[in-house]
Amino acid sequence: MRPALSFALAQLRVTLRERETLFWFVLFPVLLFVLLVAIFGSLGQEGTIHFEVGFVNRDQAAGEAGLGRRIEGILEALSRPAQEGKEPLLHLHRPAGTENLDVFRAREEEAVRYGRHALLVVVPEGFSAGVLDALSSRPGVDPVKVQVFRRAGSSSSGFALLILKQVIAGVDQAVLASAGRFRPEEAVLAETTFLGSPAGTEVRYVDFLLPGLVLMAFFTAGLFGVPGAILFAREQRILRRYWVTPFSVPQFLAGFSVTHAIVCALQFTLLILVGRFALGAEVSFASPGAALFLVLASLTFLAFGFFVASLVQTGAAGMALANAINLPMTFLSGLYYQVGTLPGPLRVLLAVNPLSYLADGLRRVIGLQGAAAPLWLSVLVPILWIGFSLFVAGRRLSWDVGR
């Protein structure tokens, strides 16, 4: 154990003394955190103006009196492109002619729950009549409301809801005007239900971002730190100095893992401190579930680093490969923003990206959002990645420069 710990201490010293390493592994995540919160913290999590919206109209009233139909008409208009060749604001999903409305609604709820669609709007049966009854102010009549289902913690859902509220407000004004009423209260009401969140509360961007950046920092340490250190040490023939002593590959790996864990702990501590005291983050990682996901993430990216190191021969090639992997993996993972509205082909990358599962699982166990995938899958997929990475690295990774 002593050789492994001594090696870990030496590696840690090297990491902390190399300014470039220190910057990219420790300071960069903090700077990115501050930057992202400064830019997007008050605007929302993403800049998309394209939303998938499901719509069910159970209101039977037709013609001018059919409020459900009016809402649908406006949404229909929004689902047409404003200019030719431009993306429409909404993609409206409605049941096919013969489709059972309950089946369609259940499917759409799932789509919202798992982040594929931003919103589900249900106009209940008898809605038009209910609104008119409420307008007549007959006491004892409960107002009938449009039912809106959105995903907790999703900015896409939030933005789509804002649009829907504008739609409803427009219909509401028309109804009030036709009834000769101009009272301040609304006639057409909507009730929002959050899907996938036990709390059903909106998540602040800084809280949403913090776990993502913690994972990004761990990922960077694994993706760049592990292959960088191993390939450089192999190329510079530092490793062979070790192999002519009793120091063994398992001891090297143990020491290397300890260093990686310490670097991750350092990153985590700094991000938490900056998040909490400088940016006002309130999210708490003090739970066994969070600890499990943090350890799992650290191990996953450590193994992933060995995997990357096993694919190339030189440090330069290792860094090039890490760079090529880094961008798609982090941006198609949900670390920085919700990815529920990604187009289909990119969803495949999401489905195999361990980052997205770890981000989803970690956010779920710290109470930020409902799961986009079952929790067991958020644990299983990273474990499969660890197994796969170590298997490939075990077969391919060379510990010395051969002739």
Partner 1 sequence: MDENGLLLRVTDLRKSYGDVRAVDGVSFAVPRGTVFTLLGPNGAGKTTTLEILEGLREPDSGTIEVFGRSLRRVDRATKERMGVLLQEGSFEPYLKVKEVVALFASFFARPLPVKEVLERMELTEKQNALVRTLSGGQKQRLGVAVALVGDPELVFLDEPTTGLDPQARRNIWAIVHDLEEEKKTILLTTHYMEEAETLSDDVAILDHGAIIAQGSPRALALGLGQETVIEFALVGARPEDLRELEALGTGLSTHGEAVFLKTAAFTATMERLLAWSKARGVPLSGLVVRQPNLEDVFLSLTGRRLRE
Binding site for partner 1 (CB under 8 A): 2-3, 6-7, 10, 13-14, 17-18, 233, 236-238, 240-248, 400, 403
Nearest to 222 by CA among 261, 279, 269, 182: 261
- What is the nearest approach in angstroms of partner 1 to the Cβ of residue 331? 32
Of 85 and 402, CB closest to partner 1 = 402
- What is the nearest approach in angstroms of partner 1 to the Cβ of residue 206? 35
Of 2 and 138, CB closest to partner 1 = 2
Of 199 and 249, CB closest to partner 1 = 249
* β-bridge partners, 119: 53, 150
Of 244 and 286, CB closest to partner 1 = 244
Nearest to 284 by CA among 206, 369, 367: 367
Of 181 and 240, CB closest to partner 1 = 240
How buried is residue 103: exposed, middle or buried, by Cβ count under 10 Å (0-12/13-18/19+)?
Answer: exposed
| Continuous segment of H or E residues that includes residue 228 | helix 226-235
- What is the nearest approach in angstroms of partner 1 to the Cβ of residue 338? 41
- What is the nearest approach in angstroms of partner 1 to the Cβ of residue 208? 37
Of 252 and 304, CB closest to partner 1 = 252
Distances (CA, A) of 307 to 145, 220, 260, 293, 326: 54, 14, 15, 20, 14
- What is the nearest approach in angstroms of partner 1 to the Cβ of residue 21? 9
* Tokens coding 65: 């009196």
- What is the nearest approach in angstroms of partner 1 to the Cβ of residue 319? 17
Q: Residue 190: helix, strand or coil by DSSP?
A: strand
- Separation CA 193–CA 60 (nearest Å): 23
- Separation CA 59–CA 50 (nearest Å): 27
